[in-house]
Structure 1
Amino acid sequence: MKRSQLLIPVLASVMLLVTSCSSVKVATDYDDAVDFNQYQSFAFYKPGIDKAEISDLDKKRILRAIETELTKQGFAKSSNPDMLISIFTKTNTNVDIYRNNFGYGYGWGWTPYYWRGAGRETVSTSTEGTLYIDLIDAQKKELIWQGMGTGVLSQDREAKIERINEIVMKIMEKYPPNKTK
């Protein structure tokens, strides 16, 4: 087998590894007319959180992570808060098919000059989750800030907890938008 034929499966494996460990993608949006310095306390908005279509255990993990990040920024959890926090989630299952065209047999190959194929296909699936964190003005009941984080999730309990904490941290790094606090 030629050296270049060996190099392609190795590169494909590296690309699979790199794409499976992709980082968290974050986006935020907010109301330009809001002075975010006026908010100093928070509470969770139960009606909104109850609608999130994830397990109660994952909800608790997300809420603990949000509380941790906000208290790091100097916010206090309160029964009479300045802002309310709600979450919702979306998930997508990604199916990746990788084809190794090395080997001999019937089928079209890499060049139009000879037949080749009989390679193997590898199918893998991954779950990509998107977490939305909504911050709502408690008095006006208006959305003031929204953060969204997307990342690949694991079924392994410890890895999932770590990933939830990472996604929440990356989202909350963007709050407040003007960082004058």
Structure 2
Amino acid sequence: MKKLLKLLPIVLIVLAITSCSSIRVAADYDKNAEFNNYKTFAFFKTGIDKAEISDLDKRRILRAIETELLAQGYTKSENPDLLVSIFTKSQQRVNVYNNSWGVGGWGWGGWGGYGPGWGYGWNNQPSVSTRTEGVLYVDLIDANKKELVWQGMGTGLLTQRSVEKKEARIKEFVTKIMENYPPELAQ
């Protein structure tokens, strides 16, 4: 039992770290769209310009989307079947942890005395952390009808640590989202 109590904080920390890196995805589509007829794509500049992120991040996202579509056999074209647009949102996520069970030093000793010593106990100070959570929407629009036919959404924590890590995170977002396109293959 004592070993379990000692391992519990480590297990919780590992779970917290691994769960933070996950990206939740969802997709919606027009059931009447003939996805097999779409062979070419282009980026919808008007929609992309409205995305409220830096131009650097826009280019990173668009390169990742282009890579995914080319890998699926699509061709970039001046006269496309599909127009690709993006939309982004972000919000601060505040986490307050009131479960302050832990190990500490200096306090009431194990036999009723006051002084230095180690032991388990409660800490009355809550732990507060803030993180930025982002949402990336990838819209695929039928170029002839000018109608949205597929929308993928990815939600997850954002990173600002380095250019390489930011690029990897964006690629991870786009890859996870595009796994659901086309819908017939996502089943």
* TM-score bucket (shorter structure): 0.7 to 0.9
Work out whether 1:127 is the aligned partner of 2:121. no
What residue number does 1:47 align with?
Answer: 46
What residue number does 1:108 align with?
Answer: none
TM-score under structure 2 length normalisation:
0.80
Work out whether 1:167 is the aligned partner of 2:173. yes
Question: Which residues in structure 2 correspond to 1:147-162 (within 5 Å)?
Answer: 147-156=152-161, 157-162=163-168
Q: Percent identity?
A: 56
**SS of match in other structure, 2:152:** strand
Aligned-pair distance for 1:25? 1.0
**SS of match in other structure, 1:154:** coil
What residue number does 1:88 align with?
Answer: 87
User: How many residue pairs are counted as aligned between the two chains?
Assistant: 168
What residue number does 1:111 align with?
Answer: none
TM-score under structure 1 length normalisation:
0.82
Looking at structure 1, the residues matched to 15 and 92 of structure 2 have their Cα atoms a distance apart, in angstroms, of 19
For the 8 Å contact 1:29–1:147, the answer to whether it is kept is yes
Looking at structure 2, the residues matched to 20 and 179 of structure 1 have their Cα atoms a distance apart, in angstroms, of 28
Q: Which runs of 5+ in 1 are unaligned?
A: 106-115
For the 8 Å contact 1:86–1:134, the answer to whether it is kept is yes
**SS of match in other structure, 2:183:** coil
**SS of match in other structure, 1:179:** helix
Question: Which residues in structure 2 correspond to 1:126-145 (within 5 Å)?
Answer: 126-145=131-150
Aligned-pair distance for 1:158? 1.6
For the 8 Å contact 1:101–1:119, the answer to whether it is kept is no
Work out whether 1:179 is the aligned partner of 2:178. no
Over 3 Å counting, the alpha-carbon distance change for 1:6 and 1:87 in structure 2 is same
What residue number does 2:59 align with?
Answer: 60
For the 8 Å contact 1:137–1:143, the answer to whether it is kept is yes
Looking at structure 1, the residues matched to 5 and 178 of structure 2 have their Cα atoms a distance apart, in angstroms, of 46
Q: Deviations over 1:132-171 (max 9, x none)?
A: 0010011110001111111111111221110110110111
Question: Which residues in structure 2 correspond to 1:12-27 (within 5 Å)?
Answer: 12-21=12-21, 23-27=22-26
Aligned-pair distance for 1:83? 0.9
Paired AA for residue 90 in structure 1: K
Looking at structure 2, the residues matched to 89 and 43 of structure 1 have their Cα atoms a distance apart, in angstroms, of 19
Q: Which runs of 5+ in 2 are unaligned?
A: 109-120
Instruction: Tell me whether 134-143 or 93-102 shows the greater mean CA deviation.
Output: 93-102
Looking at structure 2, the residues matched to 15 and 173 of structure 1 have their Cα atoms a distance apart, in angstroms, of 25
Looking at structure 1, the residues matched to 8 and 59 of structure 2 have their Cα atoms a distance apart, in angstroms, of 44
**SS of match in other structure, 1:80:** coil
- Structure number with the higher strand fraction is 2
Looking at structure 2, the residues matched to 55 and 65 of structure 1 have their Cα atoms a distance apart, in angstroms, of 16
Looking at structure 1, the residues matched to 122 and 29 of structure 2 have their Cα atoms a distance apart, in angstroms, of 53
